[in-house]
Amino acid sequence: MHVHILGICGTFMGGVAALARAAGHRVTGSDRGVYPPMSDQLKALGVEVTEGYGAEQLTPAPDVVLVGNVMTRGLPVIEALLNSRIRYTSGPDWLASTVLRDRHVLAVAGTHGKTTTSSLLAWILEHSGRSPGFLIGGVPTDFGVSARLGDGEAFVIEADEYDTAFFDKRAKFLLYRPRTTIVNNLEFDHADIYPDLAAIQRQFHQLIRALPGAGRLIVRGGDPNIDELLKQGCWTPLESFSSDPAAGADWTGDAHGSVFRLRQGSKTIGEVEWGLTGNHNAENATAALLAARELGVSPADALTAIGCFAGVKRRLELLGDFGGVALFDDFAHHPTAIARTLSGMRARDPGGRVLAALEPRSNTMRMGCHRAELGAALATADHVWVLRPPELDWDLDAALADYQTIEVCDSVAEIVAGVGSVAVRGDQLVVMSNGGFGGIHQLLSQSLDAPG
């Protein structure tokens, strides 16, 4: 079967492409603004990618077209598709009907930490011999790909609440029908789709309504937005986790330097040295461990796997040392995630300086929904450069005016020059963006490595 994917270079649709290819289908696709790591993954899979959304890509006609949620009416390929007799569906619907139907689906949902938690869960299951399938919104270093079919019963999926397609406005995770579900946390996001937090909570409660009574719901304890969600009803056995003993959760996982420690109630279950930092990652690891228990993985075996987990690309990923400056790449684009990333940087070297460059690229950030929280989230770094997006409809300078260590820049070149004038040997520099950031990573590495 010939499967053609529109919007193929998004993390989700790129993962769908990998699964379709593994299932033996011929896979092609198209997108705009192609960049690594997804472009590298598709090339390695032998998937032919067309730049742009012209109607000509539908000739000759594929057997089915999978429509990504970036696609809109008015695009030539969409208008041609609707006028044709070619079968089309959404990526989540194809995934649910073709891949997930007969699997034990473990869904990882929530505002923050989904990619790391999904990667940890897949790795715990792999390390214990379960050979899971997975589709993750990033590339776990231990696997080198964002998706695979797997040979086992389990399928781990990063389950977000973004809408499915222009013709299906349900949250994507409603199509997956998971048996085990993690809700890491819950905050307002996706302002281009949802008007407020209550609208997001309604989607999450629809997910909870469909969970089987024989399944498991795993939630972060002490999160008021999750507590409010659960008051609407829950029909599935529930377990809670936290990094804060005061939260009263069933399980507590916390990080002390390079050690992750797990407790059940007041009983210490075990601890392990690991490569991650911060209590937010300790919570991610605890949630993953609890989900893996549903497939029979013991906490002891899960701790061993957590200890050798290699991390995820673009999640506080160390790119290298350039001119004595440690350069990191991170996906953070929400104030809470930004603050957690910078906290993790501090934990790596408490006595050193932390520098940061931010591209406020997400729809929610560009709409200004988090402008009041942005400055405080960034202020924990010693110096920050923020790229001013084009056609921003709110005053970025005014929002950050009270923070003397934060500079607003009009170009990537200006940021690179600013970093070059401030950074010194021993500094840590993190680049935060959910996109390509104009190739800033390579430009920074070259600039920092330049003699003099």
Q: pLDDT, tens digit, for every residue of 56-108? A: 999 999 999 999 999 999 999 999 999 999 999 999 999 999 999 999 999 99
Q: Which CATH superfamily is domain 2-91 in?
A: NAD(P)-binding Rossmann-like Domain (3.40.50.720)
Structure tokens at 136: 């993750």
Domain spans of the chain, in order of start: 2-91, 102-307, 317-449
Helical segments of 257-406, H only: 279-293, 299-307, 335-348, 363-366, 371-378, 396-399
CB 260 within 8 A of CB 271: yes
CA–CA gap between residue 181 and residue 210 (Å, rounded): 11
Calculate the dihedral angle through the C-alpha atoms of 271, 277, 280, 284, rounding to the nearest 10 degrees: -60
Arithmetic mean of pLDDT, 126-145: 93
Q: pLDDT, tens digit, for every residue of 164-193? A: 999 999 999 999 999 999 999 998 777 678
pLDDT of the residue at 248: 92
CB 60 within 8 A of CB 135: no
Q: Which CATH number fits the domain 317-449, given the four candidates 3.40.1190.20, 3.40.50.850, 3.90.190.20, 3.30.420.40?
A: 3.90.190.20
- Binned at pLDDT 50, 70 and 90, residue 270 comes out as very high
Has residue 151 got a pLDDT over 80? yes
pLDDT of the residue at 335: 86
Mean pLDDT for the chain overall: 92
Arithmetic mean of pLDDT, 381-406: 89
Arithmetic mean of pLDDT, 391-411: 89
- Binned at pLDDT 50, 70 and 90, residue 331 comes out as confident
HSE-CB at 215 with a 13 A cutoff on CA atoms is 21
pLDDT of the residue at 133: 98
Q: Which of 188-197, 209-218, 244-253 has the lowest mean pLDDT?
A: 188-197
Nearest to 263 by CA among 226, 216, 303: 303
pLDDT of the residue at 188: 79
pLDDT of the residue at 36: 66
Nearest to 10 by CA among 143, 149, 165, 119: 165
> What kind of fold does domain 102-307 have according to CATH?
UDP-N-acetylmuramoyl-L-alanine:D-glutamate ligase (3.40.1190)
pLDDT of the residue at 157: 98
**CB 256: neighbour CB atoms within 10 A?**
11
- SS3 of residue 442 by DSSP: helix
Is the peptide bond preceding residue 237 cis, with omega within 30 degrees of 0? no
Q: pLDDT, tens digit, for every residue of 20-55? A: 999 999 999 999 976 666 677 788 888 999 989 999
Nearest to 95 by CA among 52, 144, 158: 158
Q: Which of 78-82, 118-122, 140-144 has the lowest mean pLDDT?
A: 140-144
Q: Which of 23-27, 159-163, 278-282, 363-367 has the lowest mean pLDDT?
A: 363-367
Largest pairwise CA distance in the chain: 65
- Binned at pLDDT 50, 70 and 90, residue 240 comes out as very high
